Chains A and B, each alone.
Chain A
Amino acid sequence: MKKIEAIIKPYKVEEIKNSLVEVGIHGMTVTYVEGFGSQGGHKESYRAAEIAVNFLPKIKIEVVVDDEKVDVVIEAIIKHAKTDPNGSIGDGKIFVYNIENAIRIRTGEIGSVAL
């Protein structure tokens, strides 16, 4: 089992969710996060105060899947997270982790059946 963690632009979340459902993913966790990478930030002004906003709002999607599905999921996320055909700065990142185990609280099922 692997966990795929994708940090994406907020307005892309619906599109990515739909594409993941299409490839057979039926569960995910979404978190609203802030951060910066190579995109940097932007400037805001409030009366006299000019403020550099470094932390941009992003969304973090976490999906845990069986090993054989990892490539499909990554492909789908990359395809839909790009903001133009060549991609642009700030489109996000994907991290893949190993997952030791999964347990469904309701039934106590263990392993990939619990996903």
Chain B
Amino acid sequence: MTKSINEKETTVVLSKIKDDKTKKKELRIKKVIIFTVVLFATLIVGSFFAIKTTKFINLDDLSSVNNSDTGFMIISSILVMLMTPALALFYGGMVRKKNVLGTIMQSFVALGIVSVIWFLYGYSLAFGGDGNIIGNFNFAMLKNVSLAPSDGLTIPHQLFVIFQMMFACLTPALITGAFAERFKFKSYLLFLILWVTFIYCPLAHWVWGGGWISKIGGIDFAGGLVVHIASGVAALACCIMLGARKGYKTENMPPHNLTLTFIGLMFLWVGWFGFNAGSALSSGTLATTAFINTQLGAASGLLAWLGVECLHRGKPTVLGGMSGTLAGLVGITPACGFVTPISAIVIGIITGMICYVLTTFKGVFNYDDSLDVIGIHGTGGIVGSILTGIFATTLINSDGANGLLYGSFKLFNAQIISTIASIVFSFFGTLLILYIIDKISGLRVSEFEEMQGLDISQHGENAYRLQI
């Protein structure tokens, strides 16, 4: 008798579980249908606007397009695009096995989201109009962006858009190293959208889009302020808001695959030539200067880090060499179009050494900057930006200015002011964004999900298998 009752009870429970599962499935299907309908509706409305706003190209406007510049800039854009997936590999190798896909995905998805944002309104906010603080919506959905060059450039306006788009994709992806292994993916998507809109676009406008920093004479050749200080300082805000990983300082958290990291770094280095030399916006002498300075900055950063590490720990490490290379590249970025090659070497060495000291003694500050975004991009960006105010010379680039070493205080002051302004803006802006996201959907994965790893808990997949 008792047995049959038990059996009945279990069958009832089982059927309930089944009911729950089918209900959940139905809900999911409904969600998918709603999502698809909304997507298609947006596409139809969007394409309607597109038909209305497309203009025919006037061939006379195209006479100032230079084909060699255009070819060079297309290749540069491709190289910069490569840097985001390279970053995915770079960071992916440095986390633990259970988080490699989650970390790769954070960089990877930026390519999707930021590209679309850039098309919709990002480019317009950063490069539209002459406002001091932010652009306008004149170029939203590339409305007035044709193939004809703008502002005295020799490349099609749309090529400039796509070159800048690659920078916008890379910058938020850089931050992900700071909160590796613990950010909730859905909240991260929200973070991406808000950060690019409210931090990156205004900053890019201040420096490159005709905003106040460019008006006071601050210079940033390829993105020391806009890309590296912005992301490095935002990383600090993220560390403070999210807190350390579970087990930080009590458990071992070694990188799971440094060869993957090395592949990532090499692609970053190659991509950086597009990043820096491409920022000349034309092929020729200025691009060549930036190219050679980039290589020298990276090389001397690599050697500086290895040297200090050897003296400090006794053994040079590959991860150390990679960190030094990155520090050198970051340091030379704002300066590469304004300094002589010998200055590039000095900048690489100084940045490499300062970054080593900061990453080595970060334990003192008690924040968990998991993959050293603050220590390398933040610090390197700040050091590079200030050093630009010292080493820049008009002998190299007549559009630049003379730095401290060449007897002028004006540029140095402008660099200090713009660096501090970028730090303050990015730090407090990011704090506010994270505070809002925390209220909406929470920042961190649950303790159990963190233990499981992001791969399974956030994406339901697994990077490596032991068997078959």
Contacts and interface: CB of A to CB of B under 8 A. Distances in A.
B359 A48 contact: yes
B252 interface: yes
Contacts of A45: 313, 315, 317
A47 B323 contact: yes
A44 interface: yes
Interface stretch (B155-163, B336-344, B360-368, B395-403): B360-368
B252 A51 contact: yes
B253 interface: yes
B451 interface: no
A46 B372 contact: no
A35 to B, nearest CB: 16
A110 interface: no
B319 interface: yes
A21 interface: no
A47 B319 contact: yes
B360 A47 contact: yes
B255 interface: yes
A46 B360 contact: no
A33 B315 CA distance: 28
A113 interface: no
Given A51-B252, A51-B254, A52-B252, A46 B319 contact: yes
B240 to A, nearest CB: 18
A32 to B, nearest CB: 10
B254 A47 contact: no
A115 B445 CA distance: 52
Contacts of B375: 47
Interface in A47-106: 47-49, 51-53
Contacts of B361: 48
Contact of A46 (B255, B315, B363): B255
A103 to B, nearest CB: 24
Contacts of B317: 45-46
Contact of A49 (B253, B315, B323): B253
A51 to B, nearest CB: 5
B320 interface: yes
Interface in B293-330: 313, 315, 317, 319-320, 323
A91 B363 CA distance: 37
B360 A48 contact: yes
A11 B362 CA distance: 38
Contacts of A46: 254-255, 317, 319
A49 B313 CA distance: 12
Interface of B: 252-255, 313, 315, 317, 319-320, 323, 359-363, 372, 375
Interface of A: 44-49, 51-53
20 contacts: A44-B254, A45-B313, A45-B315, A45-B317, A46-B254, A46-B319, A47-B319, A47-B320, A47-B323, A47-B360, A47-B375, A48-B359, A48-B362, A48-B363, A49-B253, A49-B254, A51-B252, A51-B254, A52-B252, A53-B252
